[in-house]
Amino acid sequence: MGLYDRDYTQEGFRSQFRNAPQMRMTFPRLTPMVKRLLIINVAVFAVSFLIRPLRDFFFTWFSVYPATLGMSLQLWRLVTYQFLHDTAGFGHVFWNMLILFFFGPMLERLWGSRKFLIFYLVCGATGGLLYPLLAHAGWLRIGPLVGASGAIFGILAAGAILFPNLKVYMMGIFPIKLMVLAIIMAAISIMTLLRPNVIANAGGEAAHLGGMLAGTIYVLSHSWRAKFKLKIQSGLWEKKTAARHDLQAELDHILQKVHDSGIHSLTSKEKKILKKATEAEKMRNKL
């Protein structure tokens, strides 16, 4: 069937964005992680385009290619396929990187570089996971899947939830709200997957939809995750406080025993506890 992502060039006609957090048309200032991702993707594409044997090696070992169950279980592919793009033309990598250029900095500034990178890779990996699941179920034809579109569509979904009224311009001309655009894109992916034998890029649309689902879940679950994290931290703090209280009670007992009967009356375990407490106190005094 060829590369599923070959028709990804259609993304450009659906997603030519101009945005900024201030809701005005402007070119964003590149953030560190977005800049690195752009450089890596373009560099890998250039090497693959110029050196055909290396391109074949990359696509054989680093694309998502569920030809066998064993290949589907090679989990590194869920990450590495995101940095490969179809070398039959420049449209695939161009539109993906263009959308990353405009939308990535918005989220990286909001979340920080580390969290943004994790989000980016997880969205891409989710897209890469959905495709082989559908392929092995017999719903989609099997072929190599490459491209950052799963991650890119995750960014699109997250941006639509966080900035629903942000205006973007289709083909640089037609203004549309980001939320409306995201809904249209999701609908296209769903309709394509319902007719996998008609649309050549059904596998690519599976990656799109998987990335959007991951991006949506990540943003909508933020409040729950924050509460869960706080609960865990509170539980750990309570355990540490209880352990500290128990230790202090034991130390009081040991010190009282030393006062009453002398240090030679202590057991080996009590001496170790007293020694550790003394060393810990010395460290606190130094700080």
What's the pLDDT tens digit per position in 49-105? 999 999 999 999 999 988 888 888 999 999 999 999 988 888 889 999 999 999 999
Confidence of residue 269 (pLDDT cuts 50, 70, 90): confident
> Residue 280: which domain range?
229-286
Angstrom distance (rounded) from CA 188 to CA 14: 10
- Asked if residue 257 and residue 167 are part of one domain, the reply reads no
Average pLDDT over residues 187-208: 76
Tell me the catalytic residues: 149, 208
Number of domains the chain is built from: 2
Angstrom distance (rounded) from CA 38 to CA 93: 10
- Asked if residue 168 and residue 272 are part of one domain, the reply reads no
Q: Which residues contact residue 130 at a Cβ distance below 8 angstroms, ignoring those fewer than 6 apart?
A: 206, 207, 209, 210, 213
Confidence of residue 195 (pLDDT cuts 50, 70, 90): confident
- Asked if residue 183 and residue 66 are part of one domain, the reply reads yes
Q: Which of 6-15, 141-150, 245-254, 271-280 has the lowest mean pLDDT?
A: 6-15
Strands (E), the chain: 167-170, 174-177
Helix (H, G, I), strand (E, B) or coil at 169: strand
Angstrom distance (rounded) from CA 63 to CA 259: 72
- Asked if residue 277 and residue 159 are part of one domain, the reply reads no
- Asked if residue 244 and residue 195 are part of one domain, the reply reads no
Tell me, what's the pLDDT at 287? 57
Q: What is the CATH number of the domain that holds 40?
A: 1.20.1540.10
What are the angstrom distances between the C-alpha of 128 and each of 28, 70, 76, 211? 28, 15, 11, 8
**Which of these, 167, 170, 179, lies nearest to 216 by C-alpha position?**
179
Q: Which residues contact residue 243 at a Cβ distance below 8 angstroms, ignoring those fewer than 6 apart?
A: none
Tell me, what's the pLDDT at 263? 74
Q: Which residues contact residue 58 at a Cβ distance below 8 angstroms, ignoring those fewer than 6 apart?
A: 44, 48, 84
Confidence of residue 15 (pLDDT cuts 50, 70, 90): very low
**Which of these, 158, 160, 141, 167, lies nearest to 211 by C-alpha position?**
158
The model's pLDDT over 213-245, given as tens digits with 9 standing for 90+, comes to 999 999 998 777 667 666 676 667 767 777 777
Angstrom distance (rounded) from CA 282 to CA 285: 5
Rounded to 10 degrees, the C-alpha dihedral 127/131/133/139 comes to 140
The model's pLDDT over 202-217, given as tens digits with 9 standing for 90+, comes to 667 888 999 999 999 9
Of 200, 221, 242, at which residue does a domain stop?
A: 221
Tell me the β-bridge partners of 169: 175
Q: Does 177 score more than 80 pLDDT? A: yes
Tell me, what's the pLDDT at 198? 56
Q: Does 13 score more than 50 pLDDT? A: no
Say if strands 174-177 and 167-170 run parallel, antiparallel, or are unpaired: antiparallel
| Average of per-residue pLDDT values in the chain | 81
- Asked if residue 134 and residue 16 are part of one domain, the reply reads yes
- Asked if residue 201 and residue 167 are part of one domain, the reply reads yes
Of 221, 249, 265, at which residue does a domain stop?
A: 221
- Asked if residue 131 and residue 239 are part of one domain, the reply reads no
Of 193, 221, 249, at which residue does a domain stop?
A: 221
Q: Does 171 score more than 90 pLDDT? A: no
- Asked if residue 208 and residue 258 are part of one domain, the reply reads no
Q: Which two tokens stand for residue 252?
A: 């009081």
Confidence of residue 18 (pLDDT cuts 50, 70, 90): very low
> pLDDT above 90 covers what percent of the chain?
38
- Asked if residue 192 and residue 248 are part of one domain, the reply reads no
- Asked if residue 187 and residue 45 are part of one domain, the reply reads yes
Angstrom distance (rounded) from CA 134 to CA 138: 6
Q: Does 153 score more than 90 pLDDT? A: yes
- Asked if residue 91 and residue 206 are part of one domain, the reply reads yes
User: Is the model's pTM score more than 0.75?
Assistant: no
Whether the Cβ atoms of residue 138 and residue 87 lie closer than 8 Å to each other: no
Q: Does 201 score more than 90 pLDDT? A: no
